[in-house]
Structure 1
Amino acid sequence: MQSQAGYILLALMSAVLMGTIGIFAKYAALPAEQITFFRLLFGSLFLVVYMLISGKKAQILHKPSKRHLINGAMLAGFMSFYVEAIDYTSMANVIMVIYLAPLLTAIIAHFVLGEKLKLFNIIAIGIALLGFILMSPSANTNTLANSDEAKGLFFSILALFTYSGFMLINRKPSQATAYQSTLIQLSVGSLCLLPLIITQPIQISGEQVAYLLAIGFLPGFLAILFAVKALQHLPAVTFGTLAYLEPVAVVSQAWWLFAESLTPIQLLGCSLIITAGMAQGLLSQGIQSQARPELAECK
């Protein structure tokens, strides 16, 4: 059985891998629905191959639960809206809106799932949110006057709510394994987009196929599997705070690949996000460590 620290590491790795989608999507230069469809389709195929070679063949064919079917649609919506949004506005603006989702999820989980927010949790979320604001570009009062920027904001908000729904649904206990949950969600997500794909011509070059395979493997197969595994064992507030590493990853990748420099304020924002994520992870691990002796005494 994996330790709490292991699930925290999976959440961090998922955040970093999720952050690669914007860059790959820019390079692929394909419509949002096509990028999302192949991300989900190739992601599910990579997962099936992994399950076959790792002795999990018996888990592939099973009866899916209704909530995993719903979450497949949530996943397809989130990914499509995310890619669609970056066609109209900058990646930084899209990320700024979407990453209100962990905060929204933690608040909903507090009232709906009984995952009570403690003072330390609220402080950690606040620090992460402050860091996130510092990382964001300066507000432009004329932004919404631009129709493309308005469309980008609209699709970003849709991505925000579908991502929050994805996290909340995966937090509910399930008899399915993480591999089964991920397979159903990836497969259903691709099926949701299939009608849009078959009604339009697809002209893809060899280079674009390579980018689509990378999208299917990294932010598709690995990122979603790690996220589902982590969400099944971490409180929503912990996963949500750790997920703030994604905007840090996006900014870092943009600096590395496109030579986009970070201002001192943005560097401070990155530091605050990482600090809040590490503190939240250590708190979660400490709570689990304290709970184990109590369970042992009960036995």
Structure 2
Amino acid sequence: MARGFIYSIISAICLGSLAIFAKTGLAMGMAPMQIVQYRFFFGALLLLSWIGATQPHLLRIRPKGLLKAAVLGAGIYPVQSWLFIKALQHLPASTTSLIYYLYPVVTTLIAVIFTGLKPNKTIYQSLLLILAGCGLVFYNAFTQAVDIRGIWFILACMVTFSIYLTLVQRFTKNDEAQRVSIWVIFFMAAAVSCISPPTTILSQPLKGWGIAIGLGLIPTAVAISLLYRAIEKIGSAYAAMFSTVEPVTTVLLATLILDEPMDIIQLAGMVLIITGIIMPNLGLIREKTIVSAK
């Protein structure tokens, strides 16, 4: 249990660093698609190498699963990643991350409309908390007169990611999700490399190489591999609950590294969002504990 907890926390912290790396790359003059390309080119290289050396069975996938990974990795995920980086061009990293966490609401609405999901009382309470938290973040963003283009980009990113999660759930069963997710990264790297060739890294200074490799290593290869290990040790419910460290990490790193201000309204919004994400997971954990005890 303790090892799984540690894996989850470290994975979430690594994912939370994505916006910081991206913001630094943008400040250096990197194009949004270059940042996306560097992340997934180096991420796929490192992740596939690591999985191949430690858990090679996860690389074996049925042709049907490979086709699903190609659809997700070459079709949907590039759009989501590009929109996230574009949002960072116009918004602070902390605001981008917190608005992005509106995706549980949209994912639930999609499930209600298209899959017949019937939310219970806990889910409704959770969604209201997330909406309230995002409302505070929106209010805080507009009082700071942020660029409205950034709001539209991150909202589009969040909706795209919600669609991606819905498709992943419909496409995969059991451990196939892990296998498909690994190959999604590969197809993502292949797709963006056709748009922005990996050779552009050769023109980057040493700091640019550090950002590029950091993007592939920390919020991609390390984060994903540790998340799989966490799920293996403690299950998806616990892993999801501990992943709420991610937006906290982004906000704190943005304050410490990028000197972005953090006021009480933004902090209150962050607390509401995190509480809303944790609530349904606590319910799942209680149900799991009761079933295990029988």
So what's the TM-score if we normalise by structure 2? 0.79
The residue number in structure 1 matching 2:215 is 215
Q: Separation in 2 of the partners of 1:279 and 1:99? A: 14
The aligned amino acid for 2:130 is: A
| CA shift in 2, pair 1:261/1:197, >3 Å | closer
Give yes or no for the alignment of 1:160 onto 2:162. Answer: no
The residue number in structure 2 matching 1:187 is 186
* Correspondence 1:1-299 to 2 at 5 A: 6=4, 14-28=11-25, 29=28, 30-54=30-54, 56-62=55-61, 63=63, 64-72=65-73, 73-136=75-138, 138-140=140-142, 149-172=147-170, 173-174=172-173, 177-198=176-197, 202=201, 203-225=203-225, 234=236, 239=240, 245-293=245-293
Shift of 1:257: 1.9
Q: Is the 8 A contact 1:96 1:133 kept in 2?
A: no
Matched length = 282
- In the alignment, structure 1 segments of 5+ residues that lack a partner are 295-299
Shift of 1:218: 1.7
The aligned amino acid for 2:14 is: L
Shift of 1:37: 1.2
| CA shift in 2, pair 1:13/1:136, >3 Å | farther
Shift of 1:258: 3.5
Q: Is the 8 A contact 1:11 1:227 kept in 2?
A: yes
| CA shift in 2, pair 1:256/1:150, >3 Å | closer
The aligned amino acid for 1:160 is: M
Deviations 1:72-91 (A, max 9, x none): 13222211111122113333
| CA shift in 2, pair 1:255/1:143, >3 Å | closer
| CA shift in 2, pair 1:105/1:159, >3 Å | same
**Structure with the bigger percentage of helix:** 2
- In the alignment, structure 2 segments of 5+ residues that lack a partner are none
Q: Is the 8 A contact 2:86 2:150 kept in 1?
A: yes
So what's the TM-score if we normalise by structure 1? 0.78
| CA shift in 2, pair 1:229/1:100, >3 Å | farther
Q: Is the 8 A contact 1:13 1:223 kept in 2?
A: yes
Deviations 1:27-73 (A, max 9, x none): 2231111111121121112222222331x224425333433222213
Deviations 1:211-262 (A, max 9, x none): 1111111211233456678899647xx95x8765433322111122234443
Q: Is the 8 A contact 2:244 2:278 kept in 1?
A: no
Q: Separation in 1 of the partners of 2:261 and 2:134? A: 17
SS of 2:204's equivalent in the other structure is coil
The aligned amino acid for 1:129 is: L
Deviations 1:151-200 (A, max 9, x none): 43343233122211222222233365454222210011111112211399
User: What RMSD in Å do the two structures reach over aligned CA positions?
Assistant: 3.4
